[in-house]
Amino acid sequence: MRKIFAANWKMNKTRPMAAEFAGQLAMALKEGTPEGRLALVFPPFTDIAAVADAFAGINNLAVGGQNFYPAEKGAFTGEISCAMLRDAGANWLLAGHSERRHVFGETDGLIAQKTAFGLEQGFKVMLCVGETLEERNNNQLIGVLQRQLSSAIQPLANGILSKSPDQIAVAYEPVWAIGTGKVAGPDEIREAHAAARKILSDLLGNSSANSVPLLYGGSVNAKNAGSIIALDNVDGLLVGGASLEAPSFLDILRA
Ligand code: PGA
């Protein structure tokens, strides 16, 4: 399976800054990404076209939208549609990121609607899941993963995901590790990824579950990326802070 190295820029970078980053990445990767690795950037909406332009024609570089609304169009002030994102050059979408869940109050129900809608619109969807510190301390890790994964994936198990399970990727991001510098340890990552894989197997069957990339996210940087990507069941990394500078993201991509 191709490993996925994803940059989540969150609410950072104006268009010139994004174009500069994307140009540096495109220049460094003009012969392609390291073998078997996809570099995927989730810029703010206003930067997507500039990043997609810089990446055009280079293998294994892709662009995604950090958010979208699950309707074709209409009276949804402040929201963005899949058609708009596609037009700007995105072919991936992020759903269920911890900041959408915990800062903006997105529910499992809305995240399930978004996951289904994005896949139906022909996008690849990266579904983010993960427990808060309180949930971890109350031994709720497995229960949280079960709830977050099954609410989004169960309704699609006999539909779109039975035909194309590789359209979805799952990012395990413990909330307590995001933006804190407290990266999860290897045993914690192994345990959560094994549990997520088992839940996916129960939902989709073994062979489909094995084709879903499982990413780790939360305080990944150029120093720890190599040891995390080498762990069993880790098929990629989702990187926030350390993805904001091109040299740092390139080091992670080459880790
Ligand atoms: P971080 O963010 O790498 O800054 O911890 C990861 C994320 O939110 O996806």
Residue 237, ligand 1, Cβ within 6 A: no
Quote the CA–CA distance of 200 and 169 in Å, as a whole number.
11
Residue 129, ligand 1, Cβ within 6 A: no
Which ligand 1 atom is nearest residue 99's CA? 8
Distances (CA, A) of 148 to 19, 28, 54, 152, 238: 35, 37, 35, 7, 18
Among 99, 176, 178, 244, residue to substitute to test ligand 1 (most atoms within 8 Å of Cβ): 178
Residue in the structure block whose two tokens are 């989004």: 152
Distances (CA, A) of 36 to 1, 33, 60, 174, 214: 8, 8, 9, 26, 15
Helix (H, G, I), strand (E, B) or coil at 174: coil
Give me the helices (H) in 105-205, please: 108-120, 133-137, 141-153, 160-163, 186-204
Segment 34-68, tens digit of pLDDT? 999 999 999 999 999 999 999 999 999 999 999 99
The CA 245 to ligand 1 mean position distance, Å, reads 14
Using a pLDDT cut of 70, give the percent of the chain over it. 100
Confidence check: pLDDT of 31 > 90: no
Quote the CA–CA distance of 99 and 148 in Å, as a whole number.
15
Which one is catalytic: 97, 99, 131, 193? 97
- pLDDT category at 128 given cuts 50, 70, 90 is very high
Which one is catalytic: 99, 106, 173, 193? 173
- Residue 25's contacts (CB-CB under 8 Å, 6 or more residues apart) are 39, 41, 54, 55, 61, 246, 249, 250
Segment 74-127, tens digit of pLDDT? 999 999 999 999 999 999 999 999 999 999 999 999 999 999 999 999 999 999
Q: What is the CA radius of gyration of the chain?
A: 17
Quote the CA–CA distance of 124 and 66 in Å, as a whole number.
12
Quote the CA–CA distance of 80 and 46 in Å, as a whole number.
11
Confidence check: pLDDT of 231 > 90: yes
Quote the CA–CA distance of 35 and 21 in Å, as a whole number.
22
Q: Which amino acid, residue 107?
A: T
Give the pLDDT confidence score for residue 207 in this predicted structure: 93
The CA 148 to ligand 1 mean position distance, Å, reads 19
The secondary element (H helix, E strand) that includes residue 16 is: helix 15-28
Q: Which amino acid, residue 210?
A: N
- pLDDT category at 30 given cuts 50, 70, 90 is confident
Residue in the structure block whose two tokens are 């129900």: 109
Confidence check: pLDDT of 32 > 90: no
Residue 183, ligand 1, Cβ within 6 A: no
Confidence check: pLDDT of 232 > 90: yes
The CA 124 to ligand 1 mean position distance, Å, reads 20
Residue 208, ligand 1, Cβ within 6 A: no
Residue 173, ligand 1, Cβ within 6 A: yes
Residue 116 backbone phi and psi in degrees, to 5? -65, -45
Give the pLDDT confidence score for residue 63 in this predicted structure: 98
Segment 196-223, tens digit of pLDDT? 999 999 999 999 999 999 999 999 999 9
